[in-house]
Structure 1
């Protein structure tokens, strides 16, 4: 009994220490000069605003409020980016007002208890994003903004710039979704070749159990784990991402729970009829009216470079470029952060001169 009591007390102390370390009150670090004074024209705020009749969280950070806005649409759904921003965005915050949004209905701080999963629809996400763009234009007094989407966020992003080109200086698609059915087929062919090359019978058996695409959402999640295992998706280990995220003052102890819960849910509720939603932007959006830039890892088999190259060659835009990261897979902003940020800043310098 005494041993059990000690274990219980030890666990309770560990939980308390964890809560204290991770925090119970969210905040975001202010921009200060060498004397510790807040820079007068900076902005660093964490806000809960209403989008689509639901409270959702955004962070707004920039050293100079006269800089243009860069809105980041994260991947997933569910893979909120705000908890990594303090580690990745320092250079960008010198040149932009960087906005991260924990998307409603299942991501990070916006993953409220009891929300209706039936509201997790593509059209609702797009409507929320459009409403957020309008909010930022009004709140920050900007006629246009820069839009950056990553992975799932590129599905929202390319549709937003297609429908509302007047709102944007440029669109930046990082790991652009092009044709998700063909993308999975390309990844399957690559994966089975890699598995056989490595004589990995366990993975081969697993892949055979999953079967060939097209996939349901649950099948795709199993398939994606094999893609990760063979280096075609994440560019860093999960434990390292967890350590980075743990240092985010914007997140509380409960926010980390919400983040993990949302990541685990993913986009499952959006695919209740079996096969995942299908997008083919080569056919659906063959042209846009804003400068468009694709940034992709060479080793990406979540959104394969082959399809991004196809789309880049076919899409019509006032200005376009494809930037390939030779050492990255699906997350070049994690693997090659310095070069990634430099490219984003160069895109701003090129496009602002023409607006």
Structure 2
């Protein structure tokens, strides 16, 4: 594996992109036909609906967002995607339409990936590609939406890496947050990798998988102290995928990676920019990922809900459960997705929607 691809692997699931966007002209023509049908089916035509796709300036860089909802009176929810570099805008169409009946949903391609990378260029995107700048981008996005949509507070939903900058922004502006939802949250990289390794060893022993045990034991101690060797990361990620720790009951997540092919919002070049974004973002943000430690947060002024996949080996729940237990918050809840790993919105879309409506929306309407 090339060094850059090894870096890619450290980003929770971006190493699994191999071949995700290769296609023929005939296939692209078929995708274009399907995208037209999906776009028509997902049109929002109610009098109070909002359906926007545009670039807005955040931190001096034009960054792409979509704002979609059937009723402007609904609470605003911002999806803070993971990776870094794993833009969700193009992959959200299989599950998001149901959300839009209860929330005004904002998807945002962070600096360094997706449409933001494609349209702004690598140099402009890389110039300030840091955790601090991206958290401030999110704060600026929150401010823009508060003014534009006439709301006081928003729901922040962070997925994986998105919880690093999502929680940064929430702690900086707690009065703007009606509820915080963590999905497969990355809170502390070292603790995460340690728990992941222990879970992989236990699963390999349970299966009596001699090959996995030999490969996993060969990288001990993992993650060790200081910098995590990429060769070791590659071994761990290989078995996370093989054991359904990225997508439950599957040894791959192609259904997720390839969803952007049918997105009404993504052209072929935008899809390529997700892969390019991972290769740009992970090396740039790796030092910030190592330093991030939200396990040190002891109290919040906003409700905190953790939506955890029972089978998630990418960001194991064993790191999150004790932290949530000691956290002081106005409301705190742990919601399990019994048939999900790291991609719960995609793996259990119906249950995820019900959980948002029953657990999160009442907090947002207070």
Into which bin does the TM-score normalised by the smaller protein fall? Answer: 0.7 to 0.9
Cα deviation for residue 350 of structure 1 reads: 2.5
Report what 2:271 is aligned to.
256
Report what 2:308 is aligned to.
296
Equivalent residue pairs, number: 333
Per-residue deviation, residues 238-274 of structure 1 (Å, max 9, x unmatched): 33224432210100011111122223455222236xx
The alpha-carbon distance between structure 1 residues 225 and 261, as it changes in their structure 2 partners (threshold 3 A), is farther
The two structures have a TM-score, normalised by structure 2, of 0.82
Report what 2:223 is aligned to.
213
Instruction: Point out the structure with max Rg over C-alpha.
Output: 1
- SS of the residue 2:101 aligns to: helix
- SS of the residue 1:94 aligns to: coil
Report what 2:262 is aligned to.
247
- Residue 67 of structure 2, aligned match among 44, 47, 60: 60
- SS of the residue 2:187 aligns to: coil
Unaligned runs of 5+ in 1: 1-13
Residues 31, 63 of structure 1: 8 Å contact kept: no
The alpha-carbon distance between structure 1 residues 31 and 334, as it changes in their structure 2 partners (threshold 3 A), is closer
Counterpart CA distance in 2 for 1:315 and 1:348 is 18
The alpha-carbon distance between structure 1 residues 300 and 20, as it changes in their structure 2 partners (threshold 3 A), is same
Counterpart CA distance in 2 for 1:32 and 1:304 is 34
Report what 2:157 is aligned to.
148
Report what 2:122 is aligned to.
114
Report what 2:173 is aligned to.
164
Cα deviation for residue 58 of structure 1 reads: 0.7
Report what 2:335 is aligned to.
323
Report what 1:335 is aligned to.
347
- Residue 129 of structure 1, aligned match among 135, 138, 162: 138
Report what 2:243 is aligned to.
230
Report what 1:305 is aligned to.
317
Counterpart CA distance in 1 for 2:257 and 2:313 is 23
Report what 2:191 is aligned to.
182
The two structures have a TM-score, normalised by structure 1, of 0.85
Counterpart CA distance in 2 for 1:199 and 1:252 is 45
Alpha-carbon RMSD across the aligned residues, in angstroms, is 2.7
Q: Which deviates more from structure 2 when the two are superposed, residues 66-75 or residues 340-349?
A: 340-349
The alpha-carbon distance between structure 1 residues 29 and 222, as it changes in their structure 2 partners (threshold 3 A), is same
Cα deviation for residue 309 of structure 1 reads: 1.0
The structure showing larger relative contact order (alpha-carbon pairs under 8 Å, at least 6 residues apart) is 2
Counterpart CA distance in 1 for 2:184 and 2:286 is 21
Cα deviation for residue 290 of structure 1 reads: 0.7
The alpha-carbon distance between structure 1 residues 245 and 295, as it changes in their structure 2 partners (threshold 3 A), is same
Per-residue deviation, residues 93-147 of structure 1 (Å, max 9, x unmatched): 0011101101111x22122332253532110110111111111111212111111
Counterpart CA distance in 2 for 1:162 and 1:271 is 22
Q: Which deviates more from structure 2 when the two are superposed, residues 47-56 or residues 203-212?
A: 203-212
Residues 246, 313 of structure 2: 8 Å contact kept: yes
